[in-house]
Structure 1
């Protein structure tokens, strides 16, 4: 593995830790800042809003920058946001800190994926992109549980200071390990926007929105499912979430080589597997010895789609991939917000916690349908081009 990928993975580990650790520290933050837990929950929304706004905005701002400089700038914003969160004197400043921390998320993974794909040997781009995303999933297994324990033991501010230190380490790693390449002459905002309008790019982004909404519709309510449906104690929630993180890591690790062999079929398999697994989970969540392996499976099949979707976006965007790749992470966060909201509507309407699995299955099925339509259009375009080339010599001979 090139050392440059290690620098990107460290950055992804820090980003993943700060994104998810807040969920386990909301009571601590609320008590310290004299607010309610539901109000403190807006810190989660502020981060997601930062991602959605920051991904295209910062990608556009950095379109003419060398990508190494862009990555360093983005992680510097990440450091500033976490430090602001840690030192916040009141809830308003904490909210601002979370928003600032979310701003570089999508643009970093977009630019980082492009850098990883360029550094990888031809035919191994999927593995390189998956290496970065492994940093994100390892955060769920290692970073989030440890950071949560630290925050509960010595204060949530210490957690965000620790994440700030990870961010500083990431910045140093990027400076030392990412090779410098001047900005490509053809990079321009017009090219980036033009690539973002390509039908296959838009269909891939739509697949990400619906497919990942299917993942988050259930994942966001896993704590309640653990205690109310599976019958486990609150202290077991952390371990159940860790099982989900293990599944995510398995899925991302498998996605790399599978994407390099066949990106689109890998996306099909992930989405179809997610539909089946969610329906099966709906019927078996109350059987503990089945439910726990199912949670690992859900994480695996759900995150199997990460590398193929990101790789396809970069390929379809052609010579202007940065904005499209960043927008893919905006799509993931729109999926997060939309999937959680729709599943919440089902729960509030009295359909029970496991209705989230059926909502997730329906969303994943919609993502699969969009992916199949994109695949059909792609094959049709390829067939038309081949037919044109086959007919051309006959035309000349006549």
Structure 2
């Protein structure tokens, strides 16, 4: 199992780096292809929309397919998409390449989670998810900065070339190390959408979409928050992003273990602590305190991710892959909404108010999590009475 998990982790790292790295090389892409920065920024929007729309649809279409060949095929598309990005002769081809790559990302990630958790020991599903999410953390704190450095040193096309190589290595590792006898549920295309009649599943996905808005809003505008009200120098932004990423990595691994023991109670506790941290950031009197709070917010905010993924898995036994893909889309919707809402807050109350708006959004996530916990406890009580 460990070798299989390691192979999937390499793939998650490569694919996710391809998503994150564009922010670091955006000016170079815009300059080389002779388009404006806003036009280049649409490449990020296109990737997000590709995941939001394409993930659930492609997952539904491929429902019931053997998982290993499917994952290998999805990775082959990711390799081709990143390679096309590296050699794209113009903006239109690059735009299309990013969309194609995005279309397979959610479906790959969903199948990778199902493969990993299906082989995990009982009661270890959340910590197994955390190990896969660790690949995303590495992409944030290592892959994106390294890809940006490659772009600065050798050109942005070299960045996509390196991502292509990483995804290709991951594909070969999956082909060699992941067992081919993964269980699948035979079903018709789009037939699995009936799983969303399950109110617990819908609630679990809603929690992902709502509870993450606050932290995503702060992360989206972290640079101006630090250099503006935070009084940090511009040169300190990159190290602070690293601090945030290290916190997220540690929190993710710890959160997986906590969710294995008590999923919803640990999620409620973490979200409550996050609210306190966000308010503390709003009132922070000193850059050193702000730095410590950024680390803590990254750790606590990411500690809930493994539990959220596991909750979706456990409430969607009939169609876990589709549910995870839709959950990934919900996270992307949260990211898009967080960017929009943060912009409205800046235009209205002002930059510092983002922390308070983020805290309020997180409170809504606490409310939904409390509803889910209450439903579980009522169900347990009813089963005991029977």
1:15: how far off? 2.0
Cα distance change on mapping 1:17 and 1:185 into 2, 3 Å: closer
Cα distance change on mapping 1:174 and 1:231 into 2, 3 Å: same
Q: Which residue of structure 2 lines up, in the alignment, with residue 241 of structure 1? A: 241
In the aligned structure 1, how far is the partner of 2:119 from the partner of 2:2?
Answer: 8
Q: Which residue of structure 2 lines up, in the alignment, with residue 393 of structure 1? A: none
* Secondary structure, aligned partner of 2:262: helix
User: How big is each residue's C-alpha offset from its partner over 1:78-107, in whole Å with a ceiling of 9 and x where there is no partner?
Assistant: 112211221121212222122122112221
Q: How many residues align?
A: 386
Cα distance change on mapping 1:89 and 1:360 into 2, 3 Å: same
1:385: how far off? 2.6
Answer yes or no: is 1:108 the counterpart of 2:108. yes
Q: Which residue of structure 2 lines up, in the alignment, with residue 392 of structure 1? A: none
Q: Which residue of structure 2 lines up, in the alignment, with residue 169 of structure 1? A: 169
In the aligned structure 1, how far is the partner of 2:68 from the partner of 2:363?
Answer: 38
Rg larger in 1 or in 2?
A: 1
1:272: how far off? 1.3
In the aligned structure 1, how far is the partner of 2:381 from the partner of 2:109?
Answer: 33
1:183: how far off? 5.1
* Secondary structure, aligned partner of 1:231: coil
Q: Which residue of structure 2 lines up, in the alignment, with residue 276 of structure 1? A: 276
1:1-398 pair list within 5 angstroms:
2-181=2-181, 184-189=184-189, 192-284=192-284, 287-349=286-348, 351-387=349-385, 389=386
In the aligned structure 2, how far is the partner of 1:12 from the partner of 1:308?
Answer: 18
In the aligned structure 2, how far is the partner of 1:182 from the partner of 1:260?
Answer: 23
Cα distance change on mapping 1:185 and 1:21 into 2, 3 Å: closer
In the aligned structure 1, how far is the partner of 2:234 from the partner of 2:22?
Answer: 17
In the aligned structure 1, how far is the partner of 2:52 from the partner of 2:276?
Answer: 29
In the aligned structure 2, how far is the partner of 1:191 from the partner of 1:116?
Answer: 24
Moved over 6 A (4+): none
* Secondary structure, aligned partner of 1:41: helix
1:381: how far off? 2.1
Does structure 2 retain, via aligned residues, the 8 Å contact 1:47–1:102?
yes
1:329: how far off? 0.6
In the aligned structure 2, how far is the partner of 1:4 from the partner of 1:109?
Answer: 14
Cα distance change on mapping 1:366 and 1:185 into 2, 3 Å: closer
Does structure 2 retain, via aligned residues, the 8 Å contact 1:192–1:323?
yes
Does structure 2 retain, via aligned residues, the 8 Å contact 1:195–1:321?
no
Aligned alpha-carbon RMSD (Å): 1.5
User: How big is each residue's C-alpha offset from its partner over 1:21-71, in whole Å with a ceiling of 9 and x where there is no partner?
Assistant: 111111111111111112211111111011101210121122121111121
1:230: how far off? 2.4
TM-score normalized with structure 2 length: 0.96
Cα distance change on mapping 1:219 and 1:182 into 2, 3 Å: closer
Q: Where does the alignment leave 5 or more consecutive residues of structure 1 unmatched?
A: 390-398
1:113: how far off? 1.1
In the aligned structure 2, how far is the partner of 1:257 from the partner of 1:183?
Answer: 25
User: How big is each residue's C-alpha offset from its partner over 1:230-277, in whole Å with a ceiling of 9 and x where there is no partner?
Assistant: 233333221111111101101111022111111111211222122111
User: How big is each residue's C-alpha offset from its partner over 1:269-300, in whole Å with a ceiling of 9 and x where there is no partner?
Assistant: 2221221111111111x511101111111111
Does structure 2 retain, via aligned residues, the 8 Å contact 1:191–1:320?
no
Does structure 1 retain, via aligned residues, the 8 Å contact 2:205–2:330?
yes
